Chains A and B, each alone.
Chain A
C-alpha cells in the first residue's frame, strides 16, 4: 500500500489557481523529487500535504490516515490536524531553527513536549528525558554535528543549521520527510554536505519528498521524479524517463536551462 496518496488536489489564493488537480502516490521507503520552475506550486503542494495550508479540493492520505478530504464533510479539529502532522516532517528552505535554544535543545524540544502526554511521564520523567537526549545526540551524530550540541544556531554556518533542522525533523520519527529546496538558501560550496545527509537517509530507506533544483542530485537519489508546471504534473516517471529522456516540451525547456 502506498504511504502517501494525493488525489486531485486543488488550491487557489484568491483568483490565483496555484494547484490544479495534483495526484500521485508514493511507496514506503522511496524517494520522490519534485522539480519545476519557480511559481509552479511546489511549495504550496508541500504545505498542503503538511497541513500548513488547507487545500480547496482533493484528498490526501498519509500512511492510511486521511489528512484532508474535501468530499468528506467531517471538519478536522485543530487537535486532529496537529496529530496528523506528526506523521510528516518538513525541512524548510530557511531552516527556521529556534535561535534561543542550543543545537541539542532544538532537536529535542518538541519531542520532550510530546512526551508529557505519555501516561508514564510523571513516573519515569528522568529516564524519558535522558532517552530523548540520547536519541537527539544519535541524530546529531548522524548529521555530523555531535560536537556542536551546545552551540547556538547563530554560531553555525548555513549548512550546519540546515543539518540541525533535518535532525530536528527526524527526531519526531515522521513516516515521510519533506524537503522544500533545502539547499537554496546556502552558498554553493555548502550544498554538498546537505545532499550527502539526504543521500544517507535514502540509504536508510527513509521515505522522502524533495523539492529541488539540483538536477544531478535528483537524478542520483530519486526513485521517482515529478515535473510540475503551472499547478499540474506535466510529466512524471523514473529519473531516466523524466530527466534523461523528457517527452514533454516544457520539461525539455526547463531542463535545458540547467544543462548550460
Chain B
C-alpha cells in the first residue's frame, strides 16, 4: 500500500484526490474487516454446534437442522440480508436499529450453515477405525472427539475452510445492500460525483486482504504437515 503511494508520489501523481480516495476507502474497508472478523468469531463455533445437530441421533433435531442448512444454503445471502434487516420492523414492529448488527446476524447465520457442512464433511471422512480404537481403549465419547478426532478434522477442513473464508472477505461487500458503509459504498460516493476509478481501485484492497489470508492458510497447512492422515 505504502509502496503504491510512494510510487505515486515519485511520479508526481500524488494529489489530494488520490489521498482522499485512499483514506475514504480505508474507512470503508474497516467496516468490511469488522464484519469479516465478527462473522468468523461467531460462525466458527456456531457452525460446529449446527454440525452436531445435523449429525444427531435424535431424528427431529437432525432433520430440522438439515432443513435449516438447506434453506440457508439454497437462498441468496443478499436476500437473507434483506430479511434480517426489514422483517423485524415489518412484522414485529421492532425495526433494526443498527445496520451493521443486521448484516452481522445475516452473515453469521449464512456462514455458520456453510461451515457446519464443511465440518460435517471433515468429521464423516474420519475412518471408523479411529473411533473403534478409542472405544477398545475405554475412552469416553468426549475424550474420543477432543483428543483424537478433532485434530484430524481440523487438518482435513483447513483447505475448504480457507476457500470459504476468502469468499467471506468478498461477500462482506454485500452489506452494501442494506447501506452498511463498507468499501464499495465508499467508492460509489465518488462515482456518483463522476469519478469512476475509485470503484476499480477497491480491487487492490481486496487483493491485499485475500493475499494475506492465502499466506496465512498456507502457513497453517504447512504447520499441520508433520503427519499424514
Give the interface of A toward B (CB within 8 A).
Answer: 50-52, 78, 82-83, 85-86, 88-90, 92, 94, 96-100, 109-110, 113-114, 152-154, 165, 168-169, 172
Contacts and interface: CB of A to CB of B under 8 A. Distances in A.
B155 interface: yes
Interface of B: 127, 129-130, 132-141, 143, 147-148, 151-152, 155, 226-229
Given A85-B138, A113-B139, A154-B229, 6 more contacts: A50-B136, A90-B136, A96-B127, A109-B148, A152-B226, A172-B138
A51 B135 CA distance: 9
Nearest to B151: A100
A86 B138 contact: yes
Given A82-B138, A85-B135, A85-B136, A100 B129 contact: no
Nearest to B155: A100
Nearest to B136: A90
Contacts of A78: 141
A83 B155 CA distance: 31
Given A92-B132, A109-B147, A99 B228 contact: yes
B138 A100 contact: no
A194 B151 CA distance: 29
Nearest to A113: B143
B138 A98 contact: no
Contacts of B132: 52, 92, 96
Nearest to A83: B138
13 contacts: A50-B136, A52-B132, A83-B138, A88-B136, A92-B132, A92-B133, A94-B129, A96-B132, A99-B229, A100-B152, A100-B155, A100-B229, A113-B139
B137 A168 contact: yes
B130 to A, nearest CB: 6
Nearest to A52: B132
B96 to A, nearest CB: 44
A82 B140 contact: yes
A100 B229 CA distance: 8
B130 A153 contact: no
A89 B228 contact: no
Contacts of A88: 136
Contacts of B137: 85, 109-110, 168-169, 172
B130 A114 contact: no
Contacts of A52: 132, 135-136
B129 to A, nearest CB: 4
Contacts of A113: 139, 143, 147
A96 B130 contact: yes
A154 B135 CA distance: 22
Nearest to B130: A96
Contacts of A82: 135, 138, 140
Contacts of A96: 127, 129-130, 132-133
A192 to B, nearest CB: 24
Contacts of A154: 227-229
Contact of A153 (B127, B140, B151, B229): B229
Most chain A CB inside 10 Å of its own CB: which residue of B129, B133, B140, B227: B133
